[in-house]
Amino acid sequence: MKFTDGYWQSRHGVTLLRPAEVRDLEVGDDGRTLTAYAPTARIHTRGDTLNRPLLTVEFSSPMPDVIRVRLARHLGAGPRHPQFAVDGAADAPVSVTVDDDGGTLTAGGLRVHVAKGPGYAVSFLADGRRLTGSMPRGTGVALFEDDDVFAVDQLALGVGDLVYGLGERFGPLVKNGQTVDIWNADGGTSSEQAYKNVPFYLTNAGYGVFVRHPEEVSFEVGSEAVSATQFSVAGEELEYYVIHGPSPKEILARYTALTGRAPQVPAWSYGLWLSTSFTTSYDEATVMSFVDGMAERGLPLSVFHFDCFWMREFHWCDFVWDPATFPDPAGMLRRLKAKGLRVCVWINPYIAQRSHLFAEGMEKGYLVRRADGSVWQWDKWQAGMGLVDLTNPAAVDWFTGELHKLLDIGVDAFKTDFGERIPTEVVWHDGSDPERMHNYYTQLYNRAVFDLLRRTKGEGEAVLFARSATAGGQQFPVHWGGDCDSTFPSMAESLRGGLSLAYSGFGYWSHDIGGFEGTPDPAVFKRWLAFGLLSSHSRLHGSDSYRVPWAFDDEAVEVTRRFTRLKLALMPYLTRVAREVTTDGVGVMRALLLEFPDDPAVAHLDRQYTLGDSLLVAPVLSHDGSVDYYVPAGRWTGLLDGRTVTGPAWVREQHGFDSVPLLVRPDTVLPLGACTDSPEYAWADGVTLALVELADGIREVTVPGFAGDADTLFTVERGSEVVTVRRALGPDLPGSFRVLVVGAGSGATVVGGRAIPHPDHLPYAVGGLLVEATDDVVEIALGTGSAS
């Protein structure tokens, strides 16, 4: 929202109350807060204090390197609900000082200084420099002629400062120059609307900002004042947190420590998911033909998903299987489980009028009501549908109780669709502010379903396929990108959305392989397969056409097989990376800025990413296989072909459908699993440690234990021309392991193992010396000039 007409004037009908001086500074009674009192005009005489608004700005800290700011004119409205939960310690170390020049609050490595006297000068400082600060012409309260009031602040952008995040947004990855309104909408992937709006942004300048308001927050990112990021909310108060890094990863770590981190998700969820698609015709015979077709073609499948029409038309949701197409749901699920599959079903929080649950929900007060006491209803999506009031604990129990019945017959996961079309002209059971509930509802929805799965399945076994989210929604994974077209431009916009979401603290992300709307050209489908199977989670799903690979051509079957097997071989690596989601708040898929913050060339890259910290992926977004991508410094090695690329450099290549730029970072020990037909196996048993361009030194590599097994720890030491690999003993020591010294010749001397030929069935192809360990310590003396 813009309030000014150029630099000098306010917009018609807008009066801006700006701080004209910091009149006084106070230290809180507990010594933990700093409060500035700023009148909206200079005070020269006592009379100037009359009939004059006074802005109150309070600074505090919930944890080191995070400073909270609350700006207000009138405080009488009191707390509004719901509110984003934030973690922090009441006794987090804080230092507050005030002198004649101003006041300073210090929290860890971040401090805020407020100058006393004329003007309004607030600076956030760290690492010996000013990170940002409030802009005097952009801070305050805006009054409209119609009595609307907005609280607003602007934080300065320096030369070269770039802004990222604000949820899953499908436009340019760098948000500078954009107006972004935080308001969840069911708008697809091709517009400025977003399913997952998050009022948090991250910069390349050492800080991020979280605006703690669930209601609509309007961001002007260098668009009202080109040298500032502005954010505003309706009302008299504005609360936000400045979060110091200095690195982007550290900013995300602190933001997710504040708002919550994702737990671990089950191993089976990393495998390939296949769906019925949306409006296609399907019954049990169709489903079994798809499942058997995948098996007959050697395509590993982990999850089968039933979309909306598992229920009867006009009944969504009643959670009753359509007897015409699925007369024996419990038996069908048993038959699918016998084939080694997990099962996911589609749900949403709406109750159609024709559903048998509607009358019960209306009678018991479980559906959201209007001010006159009637149930809120409309006909968009489902005829006469109501919305479950998840602010009512009894309604939560009722809703999740219906879902529990599905778990009892074998369902393993839920696709929690929708959650964006939340009305504001309603009254909530707990009195929540309707404007705030619009964005916040998805938090209640996904939490309720995720918690049910966690209680029922156990810690680490709960997983959703969720579309909507807001700040903190990363605690209820997985999220997917929503409804995209089946085109290369839509494939690119989906990737931008995923990277934007990763910048917003979300750890796991997926998308519909081949696109959702329409039927993809076979070239689009095959290119999308590589991208989809090199994402944290991978699903074949469409709208009005199936996504079984043989529906496109025989080559699509081969491409599916290759990249599915590749992903399963990467499970020792992916599950190690996934731990960082829980411990550090960093996503599995990452924009390159997160890994290479000191390389200015990566700042705008939005057509490539890293999968974890060690793999660079550049999806091919063209029919002819042409792709341009950037490689940071060092000699990188192609995992699929063994070719090397030395950066920093831009690269232009041609790739067949069975290939994609997939490069291993220099100085990497990449664990590759021995199993390529399932994600569920003992990842350390028979693991191959690929040593790629190792520098001299020692590094530790952890291969997570599967299904509660102990982790296996390897140490890899490179010194001069000798590489030593040690496996630490554990309570459940797995079988043999292998060492692949990429680029090494056959003339090396091996102790504790034996050189073996490369198997011909692997989904990756990197050359070098392959050694099978015969002891827990393998020592390899390399010949002069060997690459690793």
Residues taking part in catalysis = 417, 420, 483
Give the DSSP H/E element, type plus range, for residue 620: none
**699/669 Cα distance (integer angstroms):** 8
**690/680 Cα distance (integer angstroms):** 21
Q: Which residues pair with 372 in a beta bridge?
A: none
Contact 458, 263 (CB under 8 A): no
Contact 252, 474 (CB under 8 A): no
**717/703 Cα distance (integer angstroms):** 17
Q: Which residues pair with 729 in a beta bridge?
A: none
What's the half-sphere exposure (Cβ side, CA atoms, 13 Å) at 453? 26
DSSP string computed for 368-401 = -B-TTSPBP-B-SSSTTBEEB-TTSHHHHHHHHH
Helix (H, G, I), strand (E, B) or coil at 455: helix
**536/262 Cα distance (integer angstroms):** 13
Give the DSSP H/E element, type plus range, for residue 143: strand 140-144
User: Token pair for residue 594?
Assistant: 């997160």
Buried (b) or exposed (e) across 297-334, using 16+ Cβ within 10 A?
Answer: eebbbbbbbbbbbbbbeebbbbbbbeeebbeebeebbe
**704/573 Cα distance (integer angstroms):** 9
Longest CA pairwise span in the chain (Å): 92
Nearest CA to 466 out of 431, 441, 432 is that of 441
SS3 labels along 94-137:
CEEEEECCEEEEEECCEEEEEECEECCCEEEEECCEEEEEECHH
Give the length of the chain: 788
Contact 572, 578 (CB under 8 A): no
Q: What are phi and psi of 158, to 5 degrees?
A: -85, 175
User: Token pair for residue 460?
Assistant: 């680490």
Q: Which residues pair with 343 in a beta bridge?
A: 304
Nearest CA to 446 out of 423, 469, 428, 480 is that of 469
